[in-house]
């Protein structure tokens, strides 16, 4: 059988980067991927557009987005940061563009282009790739990896890199296999939780406006009557509640808040308009429709899809003439626009989570090399380690930086 210096398990962004850069350093690398093709998850990133990274170039500022574990991520960021990612993709012929919030995308807005670059990189670096090759076990002895077992046989190499991803979107092949192997040889695991995940609400009507886009809104997070966070931006209703960028970014905080008490979201559909000014606008709108039914009066203020819902929630008879709407009724209507209360009942599971929080404890990894502190010839990269950030390209940057570092370190 052909000899390899390094086996890499997992052909996601982290595994492909690790394999390619290790091979460029002269190592003979075998990459094992259980799917028929590498990068199944990349294809669905950024709604099929793949937000590769973020233009926040200063490593310390970038690392702040990762909370308490950000500091440990710094060495990897210095080794292969956002500037290196941009240079890498551009050198491979992929033009990039920067969008709102520093989000960097391929210029054609197609995640397939990103995956193609990575597959080409792997192939041209001389990596031997085996797809449809699920690793079923990693075998250890005397604190060393001895071999990996697959349905295609057993593979041995002096070094192993595990990059099998987390638990989110399991249909892409990420079923958390790496956690079991890490635990088996003594690594501590931080409880894995769905992160960047849509939120479930008590309000059944969200299903009627499922996927309705809420642009430029403000959402406050309220715990036991006290506002603990507030975000501006985009969200959308889902079958069971609410999702979209600002909700995903608040989801870990919402998850924590749920363990402490009653949680509500308060939606302001018109954050750019001050309350007093909006109330006047509402009065003006109702006055303009003076002799019309209330049910036909909201077109100037609301998108069509939301009108029947607002009419129902207002409790005002849609047949009522606008001129006979009482002050209290108008107040109730005002609240729907500026302070719409949504009761949080929970959050979606791994099947709808963008990333997995938790994973292999950073205390058990030498973050300067991505080498395990428990098993001398073992390295980790990507989502499976305890490092997760907000939306905006931050999570793929974890894969590029840690994948690169694991690859070059293992090749030394």
Ligand X SMILES: Cc1cc2nc3c(=O)[nH]c(=O)nc-3n(C[C@H](O)[C@H](O)[C@H](O)COP(=O)(O)OP(=O)(O)OC[C@H]3O[C@@H](n4cnc5c(N)ncnc54)[C@H](O)[C@@H]3O)c2cc1C
Residues that bind ligand X (CB under 6 A): 9-15, 32-35, 40-41, 44-46, 50-51, 134-135, 163-165, 168-169, 173-174, 177, 354-355, 382-383, 393-396, 399
Closest contact distance (angstroms) between CB of 216 and ligand X is: 21
14 vs 306, beta carbon nearer ligand X: 14
User: Which residue lies nearer to ligand X by CB, 148 or 333?
Assistant: 148
The least CB distance from residue 377 to ligand X, in Å, is 18
For 372-405, the DSSP string reads ESSSTTEEE-GGGBS----SSSHHHHHHHHHHHH
Cα 146 from Cα 376, distance rounded (Å): 11
Helix (H/G/I), strand (E/B), else coil: 236: strand
- CA distances in angstroms from 169 to 194, 354, 381, listed in the order given: 10, 7, 18
Question: In angstroms, what is the minimal distance from the CB of 105 to ligand X?
Answer: 8
- Distance in Å, CB of 293 to ligand X, minimum: 43
User: Min. distance of Cβ 230 from ligand X in angstroms?
Assistant: 24
Least CB distance to ligand X at residue 28 (A): 19
Residue 177 C-beta: closest distance to ligand X, Å = 4
CB of 383 to ligand X, least distance (A): 4
Return the number of the residue (174 or 222) whose C-beta is nearest ligand X. Answer: 174
Q: Sign of dihedral through CA atoms 134, 19, 369, 404?
A: negative
Closer CB to ligand X, residue 105 or residue 278?
A: 105
Relative to beta strand 96-99, strand 103-106 is antiparallel
The token pair that represents 37 in the structure block: 């093709």
Query: Which of the 8 DSSP states describes residue 302?
Result: S
Closest to ligand X by CB, 50 or 247: 50
CB of 356 to ligand X, least distance (A): 8
> Smallest gap, in angstroms, from Cβ of residue 405 to ligand X?
13
d(C-alpha 242, C-alpha 236), whole Å:
6
User: CA gyration radius for the chain?
Assistant: 25
Of 135 and 250, nearer to ligand X (C-beta) is: 135
Element (H, E) at 102: none
CA distance 366 to 379: 9
Cα 173 to chain centroid, rounded: 16
80: left (phi over 0), alpha (psi -120 to 50) or beta: beta
3-state helix, strand, coil in the chain (%, to 5): 40, 25, 35
Helix axes 82-91, 394-411, angle to 10 degrees: 80
The smaller minimum CB distance to ligand X, of residues 134 and 279, is found at 134
CA 216 to chain centre: 20
Identify any residues that bridge with 407 across adjacent strands, giving them in sequence order.
none
- Residue with smaller CB distance to ligand X, 10 or 59: 10
Q: How far is the CB of 237 from ligand X (least distance, A)?
A: 18
Estimate to the nearest angstrom the gap between the alpha carbon of 90 and the chain centroid: 24
**Pair type for strands 6-9 and 29-32:** parallel
SS3 167: coil
Residue keyed to tokens 């001389």 = 126
Q: Residue 161 pairs with which residues in a beta bridge?
A: 8, 379
Q: Which residue is at the shortest CB distance from ligand X?
A: 12
């Amino acid at each position: 059988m052909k000899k390899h210096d390094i086996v890499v398990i997992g052909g996601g962004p982290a595994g492909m980067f690790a394999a390619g850069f290790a091979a460029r350093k002269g190592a003979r690398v075998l990459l094992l991927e259980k799917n028929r093709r590498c990068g199944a998850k990349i294809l669905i990133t950024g709604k099929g557009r793949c937000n590769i990274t973020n233009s926040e170039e200063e490593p310390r500022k970038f690392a702040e987005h990762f909370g308490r574990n950000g500091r440990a991520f710094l060495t990897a960021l210095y080794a292969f940061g956002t500037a290196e990612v941009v240079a890498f993709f551009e050198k491979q012929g992929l033009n990039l563009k920067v969008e709102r919030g520093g989000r960097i995308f391929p210029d054609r807005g197609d995640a397939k282009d990103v995956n193609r670059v990575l597959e080409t990189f792997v192939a041209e670096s001389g990596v031997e790739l085996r797809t449809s090759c699920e690793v079923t076990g990693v075998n250890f002895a005397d604190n060393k990896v001895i071999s990996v077992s697959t349905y295609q046989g057993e593979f041995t190499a002096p070094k192993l890199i595990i990059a099998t991803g987390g638990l989110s979107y399991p249909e892409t092949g990420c079923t958390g296999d790496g956690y079991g192997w890490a635990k088996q040889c003594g690594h501590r695991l931080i409880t894995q939780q769905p992160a960047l995940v849509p939120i479930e609400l008590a309000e059944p009507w969200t299903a009627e406006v499922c996927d309705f886009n809420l642009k430029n809104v403000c959402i406050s997070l309220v715990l036991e009557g006290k506002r603990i966070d507030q975000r501006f931006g985009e969200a959308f209703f889902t079958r069971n509640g609410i999702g979209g960028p600002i909700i995903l970014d608040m989801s870990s905080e919402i998850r924590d808040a749920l363990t402490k008490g009653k949680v509500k979201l308060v939606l302001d559909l018109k954050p750019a308009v001050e309350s007093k000014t909006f109330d006047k606008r509402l009065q003006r709108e109702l006055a303009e429709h003076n002799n019309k039914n209330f049910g036909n009066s909201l077109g100037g203020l609301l998108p069509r899809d939301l009108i029947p819902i607002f009419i129902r929630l207002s409790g005002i008879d849609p047949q009522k003439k606008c001129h006979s709407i009482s002050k209290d009724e108008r107040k109730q209507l005002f609240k729907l626009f500026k302070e719409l209360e949504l009761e949080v009942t929970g959050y979606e599971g791994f099947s709808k989570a963008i990333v997995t929080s938790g994973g292999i404890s950073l205390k058990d990894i030498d973050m300067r090399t991505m080498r395990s502190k428990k098993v001398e010839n073992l390295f980790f990269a990507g989502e499976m380690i305890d490092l997760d950030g907000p939306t905006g390209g931050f999570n793929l940057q974890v894969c590029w930086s840690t994948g690169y570092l694991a690859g070059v370190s293992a090749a030394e």
